[in-house]
Structure 1
């Protein structure tokens, strides 16, 4: 990670964010959108559609559904930080081998510990897994309920957190099906019911994954992340990926990351990405909860005033819906029960900024139609604004 100490200002970082994340210059397809931010955050199903819509020249659910369900150019999978993402199809092996293999091993140990008291050892779990794969091969895609009928073992339950306020009954299927996906054997398929905000989906057999060495996969993921989010810090990449510090440093070294000076201190960039980029025209955006742009860095002071974090984040670090003006978080927004889009700005953005935010809100309301979106993880400002 050697190189000259080029200085890259916070203003330059905001210019790169606007251009590279397709917020200042819109994209034509959901695939372009996903590639611009490496992958679209998908823990909340609506985030994929809202994040894409904020960046598309012609927003709406149809092109996103086509990419995910028909063309399979975007694949919903568990990835960085054990989080679900919509990943460009060509990047699936990279995400799997760079992040998922060790997570899957930990999850398997947890499953065996959780269900061990009920007689579930490795052999019995393996038999249930084989039964799931046979059922899907014979019957095609199925949701969790249907698979529970085809493979009754999936319906077996155990108590977790016994005696605690959050004590719950969990089924084997609720843990085993996601684990099979983490192992690269299952893939999340079409929506099982409801509209595009629904989290119910079908499970299907995954295509065979090409084998990649973990260091090679980590290097490629680091390269793509730096191209989209750089310059940034070692700590940012470690947090975003969930890697160890050793893995993070090795990946950065493999891509030849060079040290640069940021307003906050030392940072890293790709060796061919040290020149200044042009300042885009001022832009506005309404980004959804868990959007990949604000979730792309651990250190956010260069685009988010620290004093507003408590309003925009929940206790677990999940960000709510944000209003952006010219590269900064300028406020938050929400949708009321009647569908109205409402927002609050933290500071005066001027007549141009307010008009741009109003236009974005009107555009969002238009393509949402009658769909009501409530974030899975509620934040203080979103709750306040959405109240009738």
Structure 2
């Protein structure tokens, strides 16, 4: 027992939970991208390739990664790429759209719209009534087209091409186009989402599409539901972890914890939380496992306090200066190194922390590297955020 009679969940048990709930142990791998996203709640979507790589690392049949992920995103619409926590783009199960919008999006959206109107007023651009007209016209054009680029929408609504000076007279002065700023606002407002890219699955140039219709939920209830789902997938977690992942105020986190009846447990870092009834011993993975996870993977980025799966001395090689994680190599629930793809397509990896990593681990890691290479094929992958080890390995 830990402090206050609470059950203590140590690092080893947390890694066992991670292996199964994050679909990383071999026996826990999923049958579809929908299962992967449902298990993880959200896949980081800032780097388009990372979504497919995160799914592929967790599919039982990795050869289906590209086709099945594109089916889910663009044909069936069972997954959706949209703004979510911390003003970041994620891929969510479409059923979570109203939860994400009500729990997180509304607050960000109000701030972004106010900022746009302020910037336009400072530049002497047209007023809010004008912007509303343009917005309604653009949304109508998008509904007619189904999916469209900003340039295509501007052909239907030429006022989208209007420009205004941002931060005039300051060192970061620039010229903004109405379409760029307005579509961003409409995205965080839950009115539009990213559609099919113009290029391959690694392309960052997306069409826009109307957002799935969804009911408007009570923000408090939506926050409770999002927190419940995330704790089910990632618990235990500290209050600091929860604040970081959601981007909410501490009062919102505490209110949501109370609403779901979260159970307090003891962690090496202090007090943590799990969903009610989830404090009991967790079954460990049936066998040792290795994984090659992409930059911005939701497991590597899932918690703010990471010492239980990532040794502090490894971070300078694996993260960029903004705190974005690069491609990582995992062995039995710990980050032990990183990987990259060279210009000729070869997947290369390096173990940085050899504590407990012997020949069996290296053989398992090499198997995962071959598995990754087999479905990536001739596609070339360069993470959007480059890290020191990734740059070194890919050179």
Fold agreement, TM-score > 0.5: yes
* Counterparts of residues 304-383 of structure 1 (less than 5 Å): 304-348=310-354, 349-383=357-391
What is the CA–CA distance in structure 2 between the aligned matches of 1:160 and 1:241, rounded to whole Å? 30
Q: CA deviation at 1:39?
A: 1.1
What is the CA–CA distance in structure 2 between the aligned matches of 1:127 and 1:313, rounded to whole Å? 44
Q: CA deviation at 1:359?
A: 0.5
Structure 1 contact 4–259 (Cα < 8 Å) conserved: no
What is the CA–CA distance in structure 2 between the aligned matches of 1:105 and 1:53, rounded to whole Å? 36
Q: CA deviation at 1:207?
A: 3.1
Pick one of 32, 35, 59 that aligns with 1:32. Answer: 35
Structure 2 contact 33–69 (Cα < 8 Å) conserved: yes
Matched residue, 1:141: 147
Q: CA deviation at 1:165?
A: 6.2
| TM-score, normalised relative to structure 2 | 0.94
* Counterparts of residues 216-235 of structure 1 (less than 5 Å): 216-235=221-240
1:298 lines up with 2:304 in the alignment: yes
* Counterparts of residues 159-170 of structure 1 (less than 5 Å): 159-161=165-167, 167-170=173-176
Q: CA deviation at 1:158?
A: 2.9
What is the CA–CA distance in structure 2 between the aligned matches of 1:40 and 1:221, rounded to whole Å? 14
Q: CA deviation at 1:188?
A: 1.9
Could you say if the C-alpha distance between residues 212 and 11 of structure 1 is closer, same or farther in structure 2, counting changes exceeding 3 Å? same
Other structure's SS at 2:330 match: strand
What is the CA–CA distance in structure 1 between the aligned matches of 2:71 and 2:146, rounded to whole Å? 20
Structure 2 contact 125–164 (Cα < 8 Å) conserved: no
Q: CA deviation at 1:31?
A: 0.6
Matched residue, 1:61: 66
RMSD: 1.4
What is the CA–CA distance in structure 1 between the aligned matches of 2:126 and 2:329, rounded to whole Å? 48
Q: Unaligned regions of 5+ residues in structure 1, if any?
A: none
What is the CA–CA distance in structure 1 between the aligned matches of 2:178 and 2:280, rounded to whole Å? 53
Matched residue, 1:74: 79
Q: Unaligned regions of 5+ residues in structure 2, if any?
A: none
Could you say if the C-alpha distance between residues 12 and 130 of structure 1 is closer, same or farther in structure 2, counting changes exceeding 3 Å? same
Structure 1 stretch 11-20 or stretch 254-263: which is displaced more? 254-263
Q: CA deviation at 1:178?
A: 2.1
Give CA deviations for 1:312-366 in whole Å, capped at 9, x if unaligned. Answer: 1111111111000000001011111111111111122101100011011111111
Give CA deviations for 1:182-212 in whole Å, capped at 9, x if unaligned. Answer: 2222122222x21100012221222322121
Q: CA deviation at 1:382?
A: 1.0
Could you say if the C-alpha distance between residues 120 and 311 of structure 1 is closer, same or farther in structure 2, counting changes exceeding 3 Å? farther
Q: CA deviation at 1:162?
A: 5.0
Structure 2 contact 147–209 (Cα < 8 Å) conserved: yes
What is the CA–CA distance in structure 1 between the aligned matches of 2:188 and 2:338, rounded to whole Å? 34
What is the CA–CA distance in structure 1 between the aligned matches of 2:107 and 2:213, rounded to whole Å? 18
1:213 lines up with 2:226 in the alignment: no
Q: CA deviation at 1:164?
A: 6.1
What is the CA–CA distance in structure 1 between the aligned matches of 2:167 and 2:57, rounded to whole Å? 40
Could you say if the C-alpha distance between residues 163 and 312 of structure 1 is closer, same or farther in structure 2, counting changes exceeding 3 Å? farther
Structure 1 contact 112–120 (Cα < 8 Å) conserved: no
Structure 1 contact 4–258 (Cα < 8 Å) conserved: no
Equivalent pairs counted in the alignment come to 384
What is the CA–CA distance in structure 1 between the aligned matches of 2:50 and 2:253, rounded to whole Å? 27
Structure 1 stretch 180-189 or stretch 283-292: which is displaced more? 180-189
Structure 1 contact 69–190 (Cα < 8 Å) conserved: yes
Matched residue, 1:200: 205
Structure 1 stretch 264-273 or stretch 97-106: which is displaced more? 264-273
What is the CA–CA distance in structure 2 between the aligned matches of 1:165 and 1:284, rounded to whole Å? 48
1:44 lines up with 2:47 in the alignment: yes
What is the CA–CA distance in structure 2 between the aligned matches of 1:322 and 1:190, rounded to whole Å? 27
Other structure's SS at 2:237 match: coil
Could you say if the C-alpha distance between residues 215 and 335 of structure 1 is closer, same or farther in structure 2, counting changes exceeding 3 Å? same
